């Protein structure tokens, strides 16, 4: 039967021991989106430089957050990402900014948490920069889209909707 | 007309100048939830010690993340929280863990971002501890429920649904 | 004759060069204890959930501190722990909480400092949570119990008493 | 009857709410000592520059750790220290380095944890720099010597012995 | 006669005690510049989006570094900046990017170090992003241009040239 | 034609993907200098313990900053330095403190940024400790002196003057 890997027999939380795991190439892609009013989205997308800057700040915040994942999530292992990339796409039809984060490394543990942390913090940064004009934004659909590498092999999420 | 307060006339992102703002008592409440399979939720809630530990780890992660908000969100001001509290409630009907974070301080800026960061990182921590048994969890409905204090006054979100 | 490895010929402190050291599996176990009044210890151990929470917070603090060791101890090398575990045992006969921290990695340097930092910060966290009821707690007997791996080989402390 | 202030009615750990506390001048003094072999202590104290450097590194590590206390100890409030000072005195009679840390601020919470963290990390840094020649050092007698300010008033430890 | 304020009578380094200093409004402006080849500068300034992004990343890095000054510079006091702004201007005549950083707060210590750290880290970030095409960039003229507030009063640098 | 490696086709900044790079031994040496008045330099160099302490603090600050480079410079990869060393030499003829920082690792990316960050933060620390007596210090000539390892091979700067 399933049990939570971070809890030992007494139910105490500890870091999982990955000492004996193989070092393999691993990749994970995570998603998040920020829902907002149409006029808020317009403020992000209008004009040349403005668009660049709001999304640029969120992208940088996401990249830096990925590198700090083991500092934020108590039972995550420290690891050395070889790649972090964020794509932020304003979607005018759904009135969201769609955030996709990709992380890679060769190591003993997967990088889903790094990708999720990157996507989430990018979303929080968009929230921060727009909150003066829109208090009702919602960050949602935070999930792993795909992961590869490691013993459990490749995995892709079925289409999930919020 | 509205404009984004973090962008100057050239569209460059900078911290908002709060030097002349009043120091007032401020409070914010934020929400997030982690959607999961029923059997995943059961692993969190079953047994005495296990329940305590999973949610205890997430609570601590959220509290610590609140204190690091200005380190994570590039344009947030550093501030000295006088209170951070997280409530994590497993909801077996909706198969979610409901997370509510409350932050307080006396200062020149609001604490929505601190509350949002606390709720989100608590959610990511639950994700991390359960991901070995459930890859399809989704964090959603991340939003501000209420804020008080400051020039813009008190504000409570209308019932938002994901 | 012995000299301190972190000091160069002029007595200047620098990080030891481990570039040419072998990558080997390394493990260290460290200990610390928090001495307190019997009634303080009783507050920690009484009741089901309370016990879980005080020691759970200290355990998480210790794990996170282990990951930040190179940030705290100036001449420590950054390294990627593959395992951190803390055991916290209230001992009613001696009126102490006994803390044992174990760290593992494959790397070029030992992990004693990580284990010591984990045990110590767990002890400080217990102090913090109990200080309102007991100002005279003492953290003591902070030491390495055993280490293995690396050129200097395995080592176990003789029974040391405070 | 006493209860632990960091635990709420359900035994959940949260930061104590200090929003309504007075801002007063506060000071705390903490102590720690590192026990070592006589020849290890001699390596620290012999020679002019060497002495300076080992203790200087430990002093800096302690000062920096004091500033990071709220990042290390989960339920500590962030605060703005107005003074941190460490005194490190090699004691050849007892074969220890005696560490005294003093912290000050005007704020809503006491600074015992900052002083304890400073003293402890200074001790760990001495351990790190001497561990290649002495594996059996012990850090002990970590305690608060005195505190002043705040509602609970001034307090001085009775002579505590390890 | 002058002496260094961070050293006590024994020459030991400690944080200056600012407990008794007045809380006043303080502001500092610092400068740095990155010298590079004309074709390197052209890569930064050519095209619309590219220009935005290189300088946007450097600006964000500078802002975040200002907030971490007390973590980087051992004897700096923690403080709560109310404003950080960076201006980055490519100067095609001198083949430099000119960086000006402004910091503000109400507090007990000046903010020169925060402004200097912001300007310097912004410069290092430009170096990082351009180093693949230009290994011979030089960061220079890092200095305080002006400061105001505090007991020592207002001060403006005379025209300094590198 | 050259393009900036941190920008993708749309000009967005992301971490360079080093997943396929060889792990090789890498070393970099960087330089910075702090220009000051003769009497300021005399305060640093006069007396035995004082000299040790000012430069010792700067050296430690530089070492710790090297370890935090990926936290400060947004697009830097996290990496595990095997060696950091700083040399700080007061030069009475030119009235500068000359700072040379050396970093080493076996990894997939170069360590220039780590060496530059170490040298720069050491310089900022000297500035901090002397600013009460000399407001017109200037940090300059921040540059890479040499690097080795990696695909681009060894490289040594021609004599650059500020």
Q: Tell me the per-residue pLDDT of C108-143, one tens digit each, with 9 for 90 and over.
A: 899 999 999 999 999 999 999 999 999 999 999 999
Token couple for D156: 């001085």
Q: How confident is the model at residue B30 (pLDDT cuts 50, 70, 90)?
A: very high
- Catalytic one among A8, A17, A39, A128? A128
Q: Which among E49, E52, E57 has the least Cβ separation from residue A60?
A: E57
Would you mind telling me the total number of residues written for chain E in this entry? 162
Given a contact cutoff of 8 angstroms between Cβ atoms, the answer to whether E19 and D81 are in contact is no
Whether residue B113 is annotated as binding a ligand: the answer is yes
Q: Does position C96 have pLDDT exceeding 60, yes or no?
A: yes
Return the number of other C-beta atoms located less than 10 Å from residue C24's C-beta: 14
Q: Do E131 and F124 touch (CB under 8 A)?
A: no
| A159 band by pLDDT with thresholds 50, 70 and 90 | low
Residue D14 distance to chain B (closest CA, Å): 5
In chain F, what residues touch C18 (CB-CB under 8 Å)?
A: 82-83
Residue B6 counted as an annotated binding residue = no
Tokens of A158: 């079925």
- For residues A114 and A69, the answer to whether their CB atoms sit within 8 Å is yes
Q: How far is CA E98 from each of CA C83, E31, E45, E59, F31, rounded to the nearest angstrom?
A: 46, 8, 13, 12, 20
Phi, psi of F92 (to 5 degrees): -70, -20
Average pLDDT of every residue of chain B: 89
Q: How far apart, in whole angstroms, are the C-alpha atoms of residue C104 and residue D14?
A: 31
The answer to whether residues A150 and B147 touch, using CB atoms and an 8 Å cutoff, is no
Beta strands in B48-159 (DSSP E): 83-91, 96-107, 138-148, 155-156
Q: Note whether C66 and C80 are within 8 A (CB).
A: no
Of A52, A61, A64, Cβ closest to residue E52: A52
Q: What residues in C contact D116, CB-CB < 8 Å? A: 124, 127, 139
Say how many CA atoms lie within 13 Å of F17 toward its Cβ. Answer: 10
pLDDT band at F52 (very low <50, low <70, confident <90, very high): low
Burial E53-63 (b: 16+ CB within 10 A, else e): bbbbbbbbbbb
Q: Which residue has the higher pLDDT, A154 or D3?
A: A154
Q: Within a 10 A sphere around the Cβ of E17, how many other Cβ atoms?
A: 16
Contacts of F155 (CB under 8 A, 6+ apart): E135, F146, F147, F148
Among residues C26, C120, C119, the alpha carbon closest in space to that of C80 is found at C26
For position D162, what pLDDT does the model report? 43
Residue C158, phi then psi, degrees to nearest 5: -70, 160
Residue in C56, C63, C87 nearest the CB of A15: C63
Is residue F114 a known part of a binding site? yes
Bigger pLDDT: A98 vs E23? A98
pLDDT reported for residue F61? 97
Taking the C-alpha atoms of residue C140 and residue C119, their distance in angstroms, rounded to an integer, is 11
Taking an 8 Å cut-off on Cβ atoms, the answer to whether C15 and F59 are in contact is no
- Tens digit of each residue's pLDDT (9 = 90 or more) over F106-136: 888 999 999 999 999 999 999 999 999 999 9
> Is the CB of residue F126 less than 8 Å from the CB of residue F43?
no
Chains that touch B (3 or more CB pairs under 8 A): A, C, D, E
SS3 F74: coil
> Which pLDDT score is estimated for B50?
46
Query: E44-70 pLDDT, tens per residue?
Result: 987 544 445 889 999 999 999 999 999
The nearest alpha carbon in chain F to A57 belongs to: F13
∠ CA A105-A108-A114, rounded to 5°: 50
User: Which chain E positions have a beta carbon within 8 Å of D76's beta carbon?
Assistant: none
Count Cβ neighbours within 10 Å for each residue of F59-78 and write b for 16 or more, e otherwise: bbbbbbbbbbbbbbbbbbbb
Say how many CB pairs under 8 Å bridge A and F. Answer: 51
Could you tell me if F2 and E43 are in contact, meaning their C-beta atoms sit under 8 angstroms apart? Answer: yes
- Label each residue of A46-99 as H, E or C: CCHHHHHHHHHHHHHHHHHHHHCHHHHCCCCCCCCCCEEEEEEEEECCCCEEEE
- Kindly tell me if the per-residue pLDDT of B48 is higher than 60: no
Q: What is the pLDDT of residue E49?
A: 42
* Inter-chain contacts counted by CB atoms under 8 A, chains C and D: 187
Rounded Cα gap, residues E27 and A68, in angstroms? 31
Which of D15, D71, D107 is nearest residue B85 as measured by Cβ atoms? D15
Q: Write down the mean pLDDT value for chain C.
A: 89
SS3 F89: strand
Whether residue B1 has pLDDT greater than 50: no
With a CB cutoff of 8 Å and minimum separation 6, the contacts of C56 are A12, A13, B52, B53, B56, B57, B60, D13
- What's the gap in Å between the CA of B86 and the closest CA on chain C? 14
Structure confidence at residue B52 (pLDDT)? 53
Structure tokens at D152: 């609970």
Average pLDDT over residues A63-79: 96
Task: Name the helix (H) or strand (E) containing E4.
Answer: none
Do E73 and F123 count as a contact with CB atoms less than 8 A apart?
A: no
Q: Tell me how many degrees the CA angle B35-B40-B41 measures, rounded to the nearest 5.
A: 65
Each residue's pLDDT expressed in tens, for chain D with a length of 162 residues: 456 777 777 778 889 999 888 889 999 999 999 999 999 999 898 754 444 588 999 999 999 999 999 999 999 999 999 999 999 999 999 999 999 999 999 888 999 999 999 999 999 999 999 999 999 999 999 999 999 988 777 999 986 444
Closest approach of chain D CAs to the CA of F56, in angstroms?
7
Question: How does pLDDT run across A99-111, given as a tens digit for each residue?
Answer: 999 999 988 899 9
Per-residue pLDDT at E61: 97
ipTM, 2 dp: 0.94
pLDDT digits (tens, 9 = 90+) for E105-134: 988 899 999 999 999 999 999 999 999 999
Does the annotation list E75 as a binding residue? yes
Question: What are the distances in angstroms from CA E23 to CA A20, B145, B159, D106, E146?
Answer: 56, 35, 43, 11, 19
Name chain B contacts of D12, Cβ cutoff 8 Å: 56, 59, 87
Cα–Cα distance list, C36 to C126, C160, D7 (Å): 10, 20, 18
Chain E hits for F73, Cβ within 8 Å: 61, 121, 124-125, 128
pLDDT band at A13 (very low <50, low <70, confident <90, very high): confident
A contact test, residue of C53, C56, C59, C80 with most A CBs within 10 A: C80
For residues C56-76, b (16+ Cβ closer than 10 Å) or e, as one string?
bbbbbbbbbbbbbbbbbbbbb
Closest CA to F77 of F33, F26, F140: F26
Examine the residue annotation and report whether A53 is marked as an active-site residue of this protein. no
The pLDDT-based confidence of E137 (bands split at 50, 70, 90) is very high
E111 with E81: CB under 8 angstroms? yes
Place E76 in a pLDDT band, splitting at 50, 70 and 90.
very high
Residue C62: pLDDT band (50, 70, 90) is: very high
- Beta-carbon separation of A57 and E60 below 8 A: yes
Q: Is the dihedral of CA E78, E82, E87, E88 positive or negative?
A: positive
- A81, F78 contact by CB (below 8 A): yes
Q: How many CB atoms lie within 10 A of CB B20?
A: 11
pLDDT tens profile F17-41: 998 888 899 999 999 999 999 999 9
The count of residues in chain D is 162
Cβ-Cβ contacts under 8 Å, F21 against chain E: none
Mean pLDDT score, F52-78: 93
Q: Nearest CA to C17 among E148, F104, A29?
A: F104
Apex F48 CA angle, F44 and F52, nearest 5: 60
C91-115 b/e (C-beta count within 10 Å ≥ 16 → b): eeeebbbbbbbbbbbbbbbbbbbbb
Mean pLDDT of the region E73-89:
95
C-alpha F92/C-alpha D55 separation (Å) is 27
Best residue in C44, C47, C52 for a mutation probing chain B (most B CBs within 10 Å):
C52
- Is the pLDDT at B159 greater than 90? The verdict is no
Which one of C58, C77, C82 would you mutate to disrupt binding with A, by most A Cβ within 10 Å of its Cβ? C82
Sort strands E24-35 and D24-35 into parallel, antiparallel or unpaired: unpaired
| Contact status, residue D62 vs residue D29, Cβ threshold 8 Å | no
């Amino acid at each position: 039967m399933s049990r939570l890997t971070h809890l030992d027999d007494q139910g105490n939380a500890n870091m999982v021991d990955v000492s004996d795991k193989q070092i393999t190439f691993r990749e994970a892609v995570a998603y998040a989106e920020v829902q907002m009013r149409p006029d808020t989205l317009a403020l992000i997308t209008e004009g040349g430089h403005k668009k660049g800057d709001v999304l640029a700040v969120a992208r940088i915040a996401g990249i830096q957050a990925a590198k700090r994942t083991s500092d934020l999530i108590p039972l995550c292992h420290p690891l050395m990402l070889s790649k972090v990339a964020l794509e932020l796409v304003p979607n005018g039809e759904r009135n969201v900014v769609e955030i996709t984060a990709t992380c890679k490394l060769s190591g003993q543990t997967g990088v889903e948490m790094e990708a999720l942390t990157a996507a989430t913090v990018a979303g929080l940064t968009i929230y921060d920069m727009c909150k003066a004009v829109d208090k009702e934004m919602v960050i949602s659909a935070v999930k792993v889209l795909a992961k590869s590498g490691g013993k459990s092999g490749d995995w892709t999420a079925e289409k999930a909707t919020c």
